[in-house]
Amino acid sequence: MLAMTCALLFALLMLTTFPASGSAAGKEDESRAKTATFAGGCFWCMEPAFDKLPGVVSVTVGYTGGRTKNPTYEEVSAGGTGHAESVQIIYDPSKITYAKLLDVFWRNIDPTVKDRQFCDVGNQYRSSIFYHDEEQKELAEESKKELEESKRFPGPIYTEIAPASQFYPAEEYHQQYYKKNPVRYKFYRWNCGRDARLLELWGRAAAGGAHQ
């Protein structure tokens, strides 16, 4: 009986001193996760570009960079709210770097046009990098400078770099639209000329197969 009591007390002591590894690992992952926010025209088409990358925890489509609180899709798409259709990415920096996310971002947009992307025209479809800290700002500015100095494109790079502000998730039917409505999504993407233009701009590196 004494041995059993001692064993129980020891087990309780161990549980108190060393919490379950699963919960500890979960908290560690949460604290390690970072956020990146990009705008590249229609958010339906930007979501799959990041969704399958190793190290990306989640991708949410929504609106940011504007003045109106809790905007609706109709309000943003009509223009006048100041918001851009965007994607907010939660990622694990130990598995994927912000520099890699920037690389994917550039190859999924047309940086040579202002206030539009492909067939979508208006400030709400501008291309933007919304930085969350000074490190992201520096990396974004460096990547834009490298692209400008490469002279890959004859004209200016219109993609803006701005501080991140309140992000409003879009309505549920917009989330994972490319999975929920694959036929309509693929037709829209083709009809908008997105992949043809990306191929023209970036060659074989265009979009990284994100349209599949």
User: What pLDDT is recorded for position 137?
Assistant: 98
Cα 108 from Cα 206, distance rounded (Å):
7
Contact of 163 with 198, CB cutoff 8 Å: no
Cα 130 from Cα 22, distance rounded (Å):
33
CATH domain 32-206 topology = Peptide Methionine Sulfoxide Reductase; Chain A (3.30.1060)
- CB-side exposure of 120: number of CA atoms within 13 Å? 25
Distances (CA, A) of 195 to 90, 125, 144, 152, 160: 25, 17, 22, 18, 22
The whole-chain average pLDDT of the chain stands at 87
pLDDT 10s digits, 76-131: 999 989 999 999 999 999 999 999 999 999 999 999 999 999 999 999 999 999 99
pLDDT 10s digits, 4-52: 444 434 443 443 444 444 444 445 455 689 999 999 999 999 999 999 9
Q: Is residue 42 flagged as an active site residue?
A: yes
Averaged pLDDT, 151-162: 96
The least confident of 14-28, 48-62, 67-81, 148-162 is: 14-28
Give the closest residue to 83 by CA, choosing from 157, 1, 169: 169
- Above pLDDT 90, what percent of the chain? 80
Choosing from 42, 45, 119, 192, the catalytic residue is: 42
User: What pLDDT is recorded for position 204?
Assistant: 81
